[in-house]
Structure 1
Amino acid sequence: MNLLVAFDALLRERNVSRAAEHLGLTQSAMSHALRRLREFYEDPLFVRVGDAMRPTPFAETMAASVLEIMSAVQSNLMIQSNFDPTTSTRVFSLCMTDMGELVFLPRLIEELQKVAPSCRIKTSQLPSENILNSLERGEVDLAIGSHYIQDSSLFQQELFRHSFSTIVSRTFAKDEMDLETFLSMKHISVVLSDKSTRYDQFIDDLGHRREIYLTTPHFITIPMILEKSPRLIATVPTELGKTFERYNAIKIIKPPVPSPELYLRQYWHPRYHHESGNIWLRQLVKSVFDRYMN
């Protein structure tokens, strides 16, 4: 069992020193464990590629079984170690976009301060291809997003749905816009830093041709740009548009094109499915969304 713990740490860290540090072992003890694993399985298991230790094909076939064993052990141990939000000083790590930080994070913090006064939050934005590893390694407790995480191995839960709205400068005279005017204006389009598809790709998928004047990975700068450039418009998730509007930054109008629903979900790794702190956090996030978004 001790060797499987070492194997599990090496799978996640891909580095002997970091795996040893994670388990509270010396580097020589971790190297000894790796040597015993190699002898037992008659396979190198991990080979150095650049600065990382990469699993061999045989080690990759073992990974799922080891994960299942470690998760079972963890869930049984957690029965004796329940998370207590009233006394915990845990730092919860969330992966979300700047839209999530602007719209949802204030409400989550408000609730967290009531029920877990000594806990704290750390947020990050990661390329989608890095999210799985960060969740698996415990660097991120939850990833909250709409459509940028595509991995069948992760657990996920729908939080709520909303559509898109078009936002314009507050100097825009009308409360609605026809399609001809919409297409004649210059558009701001958000592309998350690692994605090739625009957030408002559905407009182009309908066959409408428009001029994309600005492509940006950030939502939060759009109101300031519209204020200075009233001939520009943007189509964004409705909840974000409402947040901008509350600060008198922009005006919301209904887009003159059919808008799909946007599904916002929280994602977590099977390794932490039974971990009591992660369970509590997931339940808190869901209750906050149920209370404020429905």
Structure 2
Amino acid sequence: MKNTDLNLIPIFVAIYEECSLSKSANRLNITQPAVSKALKRLRDIYNDPLFLRDNSAMVPTPRAIDIYPALAAALTNYTSTIAIDGGFDSASAERVYSFAVISGLGHTFLPLVFSHLRKEAPHLHFEVHPIFSKDTELDLRLQRYDFVIDADHFSPSFIKSHHLFDEELVAVMNAEHPRIHDEMTLEQFLAEEHITVSGWQARSSIMRSAHISELDSRNVVYRTSTVTECLPLVSQTDLLAICAKSIVKQQGLLYKVKSFALPLDKNTLSIKLYWHPSRDTDAGHVWLRNYLVNEASQFSKSQFGISQFGLEKNAD
């Protein structure tokens, strides 16, 4: 592709998203013949029809589907370098932000953020997804998400990150567990059968030896994809689970469970915010990024202790 062909990128993205040559022309404020001429050039470059007419719609070919994420990301990256100069008015801005979030925070941290956000930025919308893959770099590079919130799990390369807070972890079990009563040792913890939260595309636990070295010694008999499935399961069995303290604080009273501090060398999980460096100059992204960091600080301060039965300690 020649440098002079770079203006074809917004035309390709428009055709893909509008599924119509006429709508693409209106969107770009150019003539329909100009769109048709650009499509012909794109077909020559990629040696593929890219879009096939089906009734009144332009349907993308497999090749077009394959290249769309990269071209859409390139267009977003370019426009984001311009957006910063225009500032960002949170009160009037209309925008959708996409998140991939580690299991649990979609029940605790993000709902709190969004409830506060409605007062300052009522027209901003969130799309919150589970973390489907381990390739955070690829997900952000292809603009699949604006943000990834995950445990600290890889050495930063070109991906930007910011520490949000440390999530304290506790061991949770049935309130009438037959072998663990008023305290729990490491030997007791490892002697029991466990439930773990695993990634969507892997059987490995989200919290693994990369975070806490002793975790690989557990006898795991049940794997689930969400942390909120742990509490109902342990309330009906003798299984042990590791849960975020914030989840137990929020939902522990709904189930017959008790919790103990983990008898491990480490009992916290570092939660980080990840984003692609191309968003550094996007005013809307910068504004929400700073908002998330501030909310994370408040969230961390609000996490009081819990008793062994999952109850919040008295403020006194």
Quick check: TM above 0.5?
yes
Determine the C-alpha separation between the residues in 2 that align with 1:113 and 1:46.
45
Shift of 1:215: 1.1
Write the deviation string for residues 115-140 of structure 1: whole angstroms up to 9, x where unpaired.
Answer: 11233322112422575555445452
Determine the C-alpha separation between the residues in 1 that align with 2:32 and 2:172.
56
- Counterparts of 1:1-294 in structure 2 under 5 Å? 3-7=5-9, 17-18=16-17, 24=27, 29=34, 32-33=37-38, 36=41, 44=46, 51-53=62-64, 71=77, 74-80=80-86, 82-128=87-133, 132=137, 135-136=140-141, 138-147=143-152, 152-172=157-177, 174-202=181-209, 205-206=213-214, 209-229=217-237, 231-245=238-252, 247=254, 250-259=257-266, 261-294=268-301
Aligned partner of residue 76 in structure 1, secondary structure = helix
Write the deviation string for residues 93-112 of structure 1: whole angstroms up to 9, x where unpaired.
Answer: 22213311112122112211
Determine the C-alpha separation between the residues in 1 that align with 2:298 and 2:247.
17
Aligned partner of residue 88 in structure 1, secondary structure = coil
Pick closer, same or farther for the CA change 1:152–1:204 going to 2, 3 Å: closer
Aligned partner of residue 116 in structure 2, secondary structure = helix
Write the deviation string for residues 162-209 of structure 1: whole angstroms up to 9, x where unpaired.
Answer: 343211122246342123322222110111112342134239943874
Aligned partner of residue 128 in structure 1, secondary structure = coil
Aligned partner of residue 290 in structure 1, secondary structure = helix
User: Is there any run of 5+ residues in structure 2 with no aligned partner, and where?
Assistant: 51-60, 302-316
Tell me the TM-score normalised to structure 1 length: 0.75
Aligned partner of residue 91 in structure 1, secondary structure = strand
Shift of 1:47: 9.8
Shift of 1:266: 1.1
Determine the C-alpha separation between the residues in 2 that align with 1:245 and 1:3.
58
Cα pair 1:178 1:256 within 8 Å, conserved: yes
Pick closer, same or farther for the CA change 1:271–1:241 going to 2, 3 Å: same
Determine the C-alpha separation between the residues in 2 that align with 1:208 and 1:36.
55
Determine the C-alpha separation between the residues in 1 that align with 2:144 and 2:216.
42
**How many residues align structurally?**
277
Tell me the TM-score normalised to structure 2 length: 0.70
Aligned partner of residue 105 in structure 2, secondary structure = helix
Match of 2:311 in 1: none
Residue identity matched to 2:228 = I
Q: Which moved more, 1:103-112 or 1:126-135?
A: 126-135
